[in-house]
A = this chain, B = another copy of it.
Amino acid sequence: MNAPSRIGEVMALDRLVHEPARLLILAVLANAKEVEFRFLEQVSGLSKGNLSSHMSKLEAGGLVEVKKSFRGKRPLTELRITAAGRKALADYRQSLAMVMRELPTPGVVAKRK
């Protein structure tokens, strides 16, 4: 119950996942078999450059796989989440849940004494 006892959880958050842009990407990927670069660009509102670099980081970290091909004559980049990616996301979610418990509930303020 005591905040300090679990306070360390916050610092253990996986920074690769914690970054909002990447968290968004992972969340989308986790809900679809395979997602196109263009789609991600649109739903995220990220610039191409920014998206591209986050993508590379996720790939470098092994959380995501990138498949390059052609649709017709145009380049096509598709992303898929890996098993490690799912695990990282699940772990992150778990940590978040703990963190949420540490955060004061709206109303805890009134717990004066």
Contact = CB atoms under 8 A, between A and B. Distances in A.
B104 A31 contact: yes
Interface residues of A, number: 35
Contacts of A99: 23, 27, 96
A50 to B, nearest CB: 11
Number of copies: 2
Contacts of A27: 3, 7, 10, 99, 102-104
Contact of A10 (B8, B20, B89, B102): B20
Interface of A: 3-4, 7-8, 10-11, 13, 18, 20-21, 23-24, 27-28, 30-31, 43-45, 86, 89-90, 92-94, 96-97, 99-100, 102-104, 106, 108-109
